[in-house]
Chain A
Amino acid sequence: MTWFQWLLFALGCERFLSSWEMRPGGLTGADGTWIAALAVIVLCLAVFGRREGPERYASIHWLILAGTAPFATAGAGGMGDWPGNAALAFVTGWWLFAWLAVDGMVRAREGMSQRVKALLVPFAFGLSLLALWELTVTGLGISPILLPAPSAIWVTISTSLPILWTDFKETFLQGVLAGYAIGCIAGFMVAIAIDRSPFLQRGLLPIGNLAAALPIVGIAPIMVKWFGFGWESKAGVVVLMTFFPMLVNTVAGLAAADRMQRDLMRTYAASYPQTLIKLRLPAAAPFIFNALKINSTLALIGAIVAEFFGSPTQGMGFRINTEAGKMALDMVWAEIAVAALAGSAFYGAVTLIEKAATFWHPSQRRRG
């Protein structure tokens, strides 16, 4: 075992022993005994199971995990009546175990291809995080006003799909997409426009770099005053947030084609537009896609922030704001889940397009 595993083992033992002491009657009660036994088994398996060749036992790990999870949540009050530290030891041990299961999956040499693994491993890890969340919230009896369980959030999502859809339409399909398109195109156009003037480039680049780092989100209340509560104000914030990253990256990208390639274009007697379209824009593509990716997450944040300062009676930011005020956190988390999903999908879509468009670039080639 490495020192790291020893540390985890020691931590687990400490948790367990202190749970023993904390319990009023020691561990004499029947429930206390089997809870403690379970915690010990989980911890021991988690730590020592690894020595037995984790790759062979990954599936057994998962079986044990699935088998033990209901113990915590099922029954009256779940772990609510457990001594505090036993519950904590169980949750900690359980997740440690889950981590080793993920580790075993990674080390497994047979059974699945690398591509499947690359998809399955993050998925399994995310699943274990969700389960940890569920176990902690339901098991330790955390108030839903503080942190709702994933299952409760899921119920809210499935029962209020129409609301979520109208909010999504209002914020994402109108504010985000319009602002993203306008901001990115404007940044790109300005970069092309100043391409032939080194003077303007030298002047605009430091300012653009600076502006890309500024808290532009603060412009939201002003935009709402100017453009009202509709999608225009959201789009306005998004335009300003996305403009500068696009400008700076495009200008940097247009300088990326190297000297030899440009000289070759000149020997072909290529005109400026030809060089731009056939050499420099393709060479700039990785930079432009980088900006598109940065902007895809910025845009959603900008639109939601804008809605905090005023929006029609729908929209993701509006809903989050009002539901948080009503302490209906399951609805808030449902909106967050939708936003995260939309953001990830947006980012993923841009990445896919990038892969298709810049397949020739070293960063896109398969790693050896």
Chain B
Amino acid sequence: MSMNRREFLQILAAASAAGFALDSRELLAAQGGGKLYDLPRFGNVSLLHFTDCHAQLLPIYFREPNVNLGIGGAVGRAPHLVGEHLLRAFNIRPGSLDAHAFTYLDFAQAARAYGKVGGFAHLATLVKRLRASRPGALLLDGGDTWQGSATALWSKGQDMVDACKLLGVDIMTGHWEFTLGAERVQEIVKKDFPGKIEFLAQNVKTTDFGDPVFKPYAIREINGVPVAVIGQGFPYTPVANPRYMIPDWTMGIQDDEMQKVVDEARGKGAQVVVLLSHNGMDVDLKMASRVTGIDAILGGHTHDGVPAPSIVKNAGGQTLVMNSGSNGKFLSVLDFDVRGGNIQGWRYKLLPVFSNLLPADKEMAAYIDKVRAPHKAKLEEKLAVSEGLLYRRGNFNGSWDQLILDAMMEAKGAQIAFSPGFRWGTSILPGQAITFEHVMDQTAITYPYSTLTDMSGEMIKNVLEDVCDNLFNADPYKQQGGDMVRVGGMSYACDPNAAMGSRIQDMRLDGKPIEAARTYKVAGWAPVAEGATGEPIWDVVTKWLRDKKVVTPRKLNEPRLIGVAGNPGIA
């Protein structure tokens, strides 16, 4: 139980030397895994929250980042803590189950030992257990649920809609949902959801008159206590994703409107007000300091698995801010003790969903089998074997992105390649086969076109500066919550603390400086402009993988960083 990291690694080494099958329930049990889900009930109002599952119905591997820099006021604060910095800040024992769940440390070994995480059948078991111990608990889904897998793309989100109904989701909000197009979203909300799930978003309005598109909030009674849940969709969907998918909708953060909605809900007697947010954690922290009367923000978008809430003081008191990770890896449990119309106390736990510790729920497992059956052969086709660890998360690059960049540059004869800084996408362990499904986990979007463009050096610099500002602007309201565009072929330096226009430096191709007026061939994918065409990126990557058969460990092209030494957001 009091194993430290070195002892843990010794056990792993001994176990594999002895030929023990890893992925072991015994090892999980030895780490206290058996008691992980024995969470005593507290109070009388409970909320369960998952977010950004990105349509991962089956258990997966997901490596947390080793670079998640905080800039300005965010330096050294959650969620901008990685690896050992995070362990220290939250008092997590190295080598423990939590250490594996919340950090990238010893990822491949620990993932082999503890097995996969998430999966809707395992999540369903956990939800049922918690609902049994917490009568009346609401299950909230923060969005990015209908996108991220092959089956979600092919069924236009239907597989996830039905899975969420089966799971018993009460309320959701959205972001990537909107990339299915406004009509499809409305169809689901109007045909599939009534009487089952409410879709809330106070900040989605029509572009003409500013009329609400969705209900802004709902008041539900939990054990006699009126609880308001307000929805907040990802404010910059029309900027970060194709605007043509939702041409008649406008979004934005809308603090003033949020305050009005909170006041209205309080006026109607809500004793607890919770924001179900897809703002991203930095935006949530700022919003919590400005808007009063919100007790807790259950947040997503930035995929931060944060072990404990950030407590933000504001003019009206305080607000708890949480972020519940991604890919079905975590479930938040927030308990309030409400008496006499006031919150007397609270407890919070972000539970990692270890698939080996939670038996699959039979009904959900059968449903998932049914969804996959018609596509099984295609999904499970082995395209290649990866010698190295493949992952996506990290501010500047991930080995999965490097693979996509390498495939694009080779397939298209490009000098430089760009791949978007998405934060979703599952991980592959060394020696694991890469299936078509895994490729879709990284690429399944409704605008998958790959492109080859002539770009001037000046334009390349402008694009990099623009995206970098979306990540490192000191004002969270001017960030978009994705990571830096991944760059292949070209080296550069980055000073995250500099002003926009001065962050990107020393751009070089084959050691020679990029020239502003010269033209370069640049490959990319996921264009947000309307009318773009090109071979779907999954076809480009699939062909490349079939051709390679064995993928050697990728050499990460990351910028030389300036001015971030000592930042606890980098390992």
Asked if A and B bind, the verdict is: no
Query: Chain B interface (Cβ within 8 Å of chain A)?
Result: none
